[in-house]
Amino acid sequence: MNTIHMPVWDFFLTDQIKKHSASISVQTWSPELTNKSKLNPYELIRQAFPNETDNFFISFMFYGRNYFAPPTNEKDAYELLKTLEGKRTKIYYAIKKANQKHKIAEEWIMVKRMSDEDREIFAPKLMDYQNFLRLSGQSIILKSGSKRNALSLLYNNGFLQI
């Protein structure tokens, strides 16, 4: 059985692999993103993968020179929404198969400016950021774009069979 290590915050992607890929087992890991502001995203990805013999996936958000994982509580999500409003934020995904080079995909979003009440409503949705990205039709995300998204990256590398 093939195993992939997914970040602890990637609930949606982990569920998709478990539902659609019976031959893939999923383990979680906690990538270290703090104190990495001097690195560009590609250097961070190269340093983030812990070993060469397992399959790993990482995702993180990037704004300015700061890297961060999706928030795990509503207070942090509220503060993060306040920080991201009106600014272009990139979301990076990378996969590294055992003994191979990593492959990268990225998306970007721009979140609209919100009132405090709107932030309180949408902050819990940011904790499951993959579903948050799907809210662009509800005018929370003003603009977005991608080279490839996380699902296509997993599918093209054999970890998701839909």
Residue 1 pLDDT: 62
Query: Average of pLDDT values for 67-72?
Result: 84
Please report the sign of the dihedral spanned by the C-alpha atoms of residue 45, residue 46, residue 50, residue 52: positive
Percent of the chain with pLDDT over 70: 95
Partners of 149 in the beta sheet?
Answer: none
Domain ranges of the chain: 2-156
Which amino acid would we find at residue 40? N
Mean pLDDT of the chain: 85
Residue 63 has a pLDDT of: 85
Q: Write out the two tokens for 12.
A: 């949606």
Residue 60 zone, left/alpha/beta (φ > 0; ψ -120 to 50; rest): beta
SS3 50: coil
Tell me the per-residue pLDDT of 128-152, one tens digit each, with 9 for 90 and over: 888 788 766 667 888 788 877 888 8
pLDDT at position 26 is 92
Spatial distance between the Cα atoms of 123 and 154, rounded to a whole number of angstroms: 27
| CATH architecture under which domain 2-156 falls | Alpha-Beta Complex (3.90)
* Phi and psi, residue 20, nearest 5°: -105, -5
